[in-house]
């Protein structure tokens, strides 16, 4: 055993190995980014719940998640560099994108964040998640961009009065996202907010958060929705693709889902013009197999208005598949079908 340990230092007095120039430079860059951006990230509290927000402009507007504001209309905001509480009021909450804007009554000292273009984000980029996880304000975690363009179902939150939705074009990141991080900032090393951390993946085996798998709403979407709210008091253009149907999941004799049946067709929607009828069973969209109504939502959420998709359907009484081409419309505001 002694021979096996030869050459290994066990002394607490041994000096630590020097930090390489590259590591030292990266460490300094992290510190600088946190110093520059953290003043733009705030803590939001309401009814005992804690979340995060990002300063949007000099007029006191702060963008956050709809599930952070819940059904409340009044909030308390704390800046990263102050323990003072500032009252804020809800401007508008937009559940389909899980985004909301609140406004601080006293905007003095607020530092607006700089939003970057999500189109410039690449898998492998280093990102920092800033917010108030578990009520620990001004916390920072680090990771990389793991994937792009994810359509992620977000379950309903009845306790907060928030319906479920499908988040579109999300950024998947390994930066840990914990309760309270929601509504904060996902920041690149250029000091730009490229996403709004919103939820962590759930480990089906444990029911808890899956380590290293979190999702952020792209900064482009957050900026667009927030700007509409600031300018109009509400969202006027959803920016989301619409097929123009409502669907329900169909199962076989063994209870296994086999497709999404069209339950209703919007008379002004694109599906009707393409020939889709009530009772049609959608089994594929483009090359993606469809087994549930949620699959339809996820596939359409991954598209943009004007995109063309191929629907594979079967129509009773035959089981012969047929293909239809549909040019997607824009989901009306508020609500709508898939």
Torsion sign over Cα 292, 297, 298, 303: positive
Radius of gyration in angstroms for the set of CA atoms belonging to the chain, rounded to a whole number: 23
Secondary structure (3-state) at 215: strand
Asked if 131 and 72 touch (Cβ cutoff 8 Å), the reply is: no
What tokens does 312 get? 């594979």
Catalytic residue, chosen from 52, 67, 94, 266, is 67
Apex 71 CA angle, 67 and 73, nearest 5 = 110
Same fold, 37-104 and 118-156+165-232: yes
- How many residues in total does the chain contain? 338
**Residues near 28 by Cβ (< 8 Å), separated by ≥ 6?**
none
Distances (CA, A) of 154 to 20, 48, 201: 42, 22, 10
Cis peptide before 125 (omega within 30 of 0): no
Q: What is 118-156+165-232's CATH number?
A: 2.40.10.10
Catalytic residue, chosen from 40, 93, 146, 182, is 182
| In CATH, 37-104 is 2.40.10.10 | yes
pLDDT of residue 19: 46
Distances (CA, A) of 302 to 111, 122, 241, 285, 305: 33, 18, 8, 11, 10
The verdict on whether 94 is a catalytic residue reads no
What is the secondary structure of 145-213 as a DSSP string? EEEEEEEEEE--BGGGTB--EEEEEEEEE-S---TT-TTSEEEETTS-EEEEEEEEEE-TTTSSEEEEE
Give me the CATH topology for the region 241-330: Pdz3 Domain (2.30.42)
**In 175-221, which ranges are E strands?**
185-188, 193-202, 209-218
**Residues near 83 by Cβ (< 8 Å), separated by ≥ 6?**
none
pLDDT of residue 87: 97
The phi, psi pair for 133, rounded to 5°, reads -65, 135
Q: How many other CB atoms are there within 10 angstroms of residue 284's CB atom? A: 18
Neighbour-count burial for 89-98, b at 16+ CB within 10 Å, e otherwise: ebbbbbbbbb
Tell me the C-alpha distance between 82 and 302, whole Å. 40
pLDDT of residue 13: 46
Tell me the C-alpha distance between 72 and 272, whole Å. 39
pLDDT of residue 334: 65
What tokens does 142 get? 């680090």
Catalytic residue, chosen from 40, 52, 61, 98, is 98
The verdict on whether 106 is a catalytic residue reads no
Domain coordinates of the chain in residue numbers? 37-104, 118-156+165-232, 241-330
The verdict on whether 98 is a catalytic residue reads yes
pLDDT tens track of the chain, all 338 residues?
333 333 333 334 445 445 455 767 888 888 999 999 999 999 999 988 899 999 999 999 999 999 999 999 999 999 987 888 999 999 999 999 999 999 999 999 899 999 998 889 999 999 999 998 766 766 899 999 999 998 898 888 777 777 788 899 999 999 988 888 899 999 999 999 999 999 988 877 777 777 789 999 999 999 999 999 999 999 999 999 999 999 999 999 999 999 999 999 999 999 999 999 999 999 999 999 999 998 999 899 889 999 999 999 999 888 889 999 999 999 888 644 45
């Amino acid at each position: 055993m002694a021979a096996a340990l030869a050459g290994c230092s066990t002394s607490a007095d041994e000096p630590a190995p020097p930090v390489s120039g590259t590591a030292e430079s990266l460490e300094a860059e992290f510190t600088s980014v946190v110093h520059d951006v953290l003043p733009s990230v705030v803590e939001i509290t309401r009814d005992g719940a804690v979340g995060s927000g990002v300063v949007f402009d000099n007029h006191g507007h702060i963008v956050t998640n709809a599930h952070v504001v819940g059904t409340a209309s009044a909030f308390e905001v704390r800046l990263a560099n102050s323990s003072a509480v500032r009252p804020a009021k809800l401007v508008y909450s937009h559940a389909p994108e899980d985004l909301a804007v609140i406004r601080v009554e006293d905007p003095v000292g607020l530092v607006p964040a700089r939003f970057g273009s999500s189109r410039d984000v690449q898998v492998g980029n280093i990102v920092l998640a800033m917010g108030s996880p578990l009520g620990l304000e001004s916390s920072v975690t680090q990771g990389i961009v793991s994937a792009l363009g994810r359509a992620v179902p977000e379950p309903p939150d009845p306790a907060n009065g928030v319906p479920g939705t499908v988040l579109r074009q999300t950024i998947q990141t390994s930066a840990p996202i914990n309760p309270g991080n929601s509504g904060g900032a996902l920041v690149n090393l250029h000091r730009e907010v490229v996403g709004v951390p919103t939820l962590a993946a759930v480990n089906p085996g444990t029911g808890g958060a899956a380590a290293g798998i979190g999702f952020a709403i792209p900064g482009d979407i957050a900026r667009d929705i927030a700007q509409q709210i600031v300018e109009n008091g509400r969202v006027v253009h959803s920016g989301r693709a619409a097929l123009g149907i409502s669907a329900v999941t169909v199962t076989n004799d063994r209870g296994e889902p086999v497709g999404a049946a069209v339950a209703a067709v919007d008379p002004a929607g694109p599906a009707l013009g393409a020939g889709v009828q009530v009772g049609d069973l959608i089994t594929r969209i483009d090359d993606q197999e469809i087994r549930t109504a949620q699959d339809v939502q996820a596939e359409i959420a991954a598209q943009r208005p004007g995109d063309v998709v191929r629907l594979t359907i079967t129509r009773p009484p035959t089981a012969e598949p047929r293909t239809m081409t549909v040019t997607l419309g824009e989901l009306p505001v508020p609500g709508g079908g898939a």
